[in-house]
Structure 1
Amino acid sequence: MSAKRNKPWFTLKNMADKPAELLIYDVIGDWQGLSAKELVNELKAIDADELVVRINSPGGSVFDGIAIYNALRYHPADVHVRIEGLAASIASVIAMAGDIITMADNSLMMIHNPLGWVGGEAEDMRRTADMLDKATEAIALAYSGKSGRPLEDITPLMADETWFTAKEAHEHGLVDFVDQPVQLAASLDLSIFQNVPDELKAAPQASQSLSLNRSQVTTSAPDALAIVQLCNQAGYPELAESFLRTQASVENVRQRLTDCETIKTLCAAAHSDQAATFIQAGKSVEQVRTDLFETLVANQTTIDNSLTPQQQHNEQEPNNSPSLNIDSEALYQKRNKNCYA
Structure 2
Amino acid sequence: MASWYAIRARGTGAEVAIYDEIGAYGVSAKGFLAELGALPEGTPVDLRLNSPGGSVFDAVAIHNALKRHEGTITVWIDGIAASAASYIAMAGDEIVMPENAFLMIHDPAGLVMGTAEDMRAMAEALDKVKGSLVSGYAAKSGRSAEEVSALMAAETWFGAADAVAQGFADRLIEPVRIAAAFDIGRFRNAPPVLVEAIEAEPEPDDESDGTNTEATDDADQVEDAEDEQAAASEAPQPPAETLPPSGAPPDPAAIRAQAIGHARAVVDLCRLAGHPQMAGRFLEQNASLDEVRAALLAAKAEAEPEIAPHHPQPGRSSAARPWGEIVARTFKLKG
TM-score, length-normalised on structure 2?
0.65
Find the counterpart in structure 2 of residue 91 from structure 1: 85
Q: In the comparison of the two structures, how many residue pairs are matched? A: 246
Find the counterpart in structure 1 of residue 142 from structure 2: 148
2:181, 2:252 within 8 Å by CA — same for their partners in 1? no
| CA distance in structure 1 between the partners assigned to 2:31 and 2:258 by the alignment | 30
Identity across matched positions, percent: 38
| CA distance in structure 2 between the partners assigned to 1:42 and 1:260 by the alignment | 33
Q: Which digits, 9 at most, give the CA deviation of each residue in 1:180-222, with x for residues without a partner?
A: 1122333311122111111233323886144678888996997
Amino acid in the other structure paired with 2:76:
R
- The aligned runs of 1:288-327 (5 Å cut-off) are none
Find the counterpart in structure 1 of residue 284 from structure 2: 236
Q: What SS does structure 1 have at the residue aligned with 2:118? A: helix
1:191, 1:213 within 8 Å by CA — same for their partners in 2? no
Identify which of 19, 24, 44 aligns with 2:18: 24
Larger Rg: 2
| CA distance in structure 1 between the partners assigned to 2:175 and 2:277 by the alignment | 42
Find the counterpart in structure 1 of residue 5 from structure 2: 10
| CA distance in structure 2 between the partners assigned to 1:218 and 1:167 by the alignment | 36
Q: Are the structure 2 counterparts of residues 218 and 60 from structure 1 closer, same or farther at C-alpha, using a change threshold of 3 Å? A: closer
User: Are 1:52 and 2:46 matched, yes or no?
Assistant: yes
Q: Give the Å deviation of 1:161.
A: 0.3
Identify which of 7, 32, 43 aligns with 1:39: 32
Q: Are the structure 2 counterparts of residues 218 and 81 from structure 1 closer, same or farther at C-alpha, using a change threshold of 3 Å? A: closer
Task: Give 5+ residue unaligned stretches, structure 2.
Answer: 204-248, 270-275, 303-335
1:118, 1:229 within 8 Å by CA — same for their partners in 2? no
Q: Which digits, 9 at most, give the CA deviation of each residue in 1:248-283, with x for residues without a partner?
A: xxxx83x3336699xxxxxxxxxxxxxxxxxxxxxx
Q: Give the Å deviation of 1:35.
A: 2.0
Amino acid in the other structure paired with 1:233:
R
Q: Are the structure 2 counterparts of residues 41 and 174 from structure 1 closer, same or farther at C-alpha, using a change threshold of 3 Å? A: same
Q: Are the structure 2 counterparts of residues 231 and 103 from structure 1 closer, same or farther at C-alpha, using a change threshold of 3 Å? A: farther
| CA distance in structure 1 between the partners assigned to 2:152 and 2:267 by the alignment | 26
Q: Are the structure 2 counterparts of residues 77 and 94 from structure 1 closer, same or farther at C-alpha, using a change threshold of 3 Å? A: same
Q: Are the structure 2 counterparts of residues 214 and 187 from structure 1 closer, same or farther at C-alpha, using a change threshold of 3 Å? A: closer
Q: What SS does structure 2 have at the residue aligned with 1:133? A: helix
Q: Are the structure 2 counterparts of residues 316 and 185 from structure 1 closer, same or farther at C-alpha, using a change threshold of 3 Å? A: same
- The aligned runs of 1:215-254 (5 Å cut-off) are 230=278, 232-234=280-282, 236=284, 253=289
Q: What SS does structure 2 have at the residue aligned with 1:153? A: helix
Amino acid in the other structure paired with 1:58:
P
Amino acid in the other structure paired with 2:250:
Q
1:27, 1:57 within 8 Å by CA — same for their partners in 2? yes
Q: Give the Å deviation of 1:30.
A: 5.6
Identify which of 66, 69, 79 aligns with 2:73: 79
| CA distance in structure 2 between the partners assigned to 1:52 and 1:158 by the alignment | 26
Task: Please report the RMSD computed on the Cα atoms of aligned residues, expressed in angstroms.
Answer: 3.3
Q: Which digits, 9 at most, give the CA deviation of each residue in 1:83-133, with x for residues without a partner?
A: 110000010000000011111111000000001111122111111111111
| CA distance in structure 1 between the partners assigned to 2:7 and 2:295 by the alignment | 28
Q: Give the Å deviation of 1:234.
A: 2.8
User: Are 1:208 and 2:250 matched, yes or no?
Assistant: yes
Task: Give 5+ residue unaligned stretches, structure 1.
Answer: 240-251, 262-312, 318-341
Find the counterpart in structure 2 of residue 257 from structure 1: 292
| CA distance in structure 2 between the partners assigned to 1:237 and 1:89 by the alignment | 23
1:26, 1:210 within 8 Å by CA — same for their partners in 2? no
| CA distance in structure 2 between the partners assigned to 1:214 and 1:36 by the alignment | 19
Amino acid in the other structure paired with 2:110:
G
Identify which of 55, 59, 68 aligns with 1:61: 55
Q: Give the Å deviation of 1:49.
A: 2.9
TM-score, length-normalised on structure 1?
0.64
Amino acid in the other structure paired with 1:256:
E
Amino acid in the other structure paired with 1:10:
Y
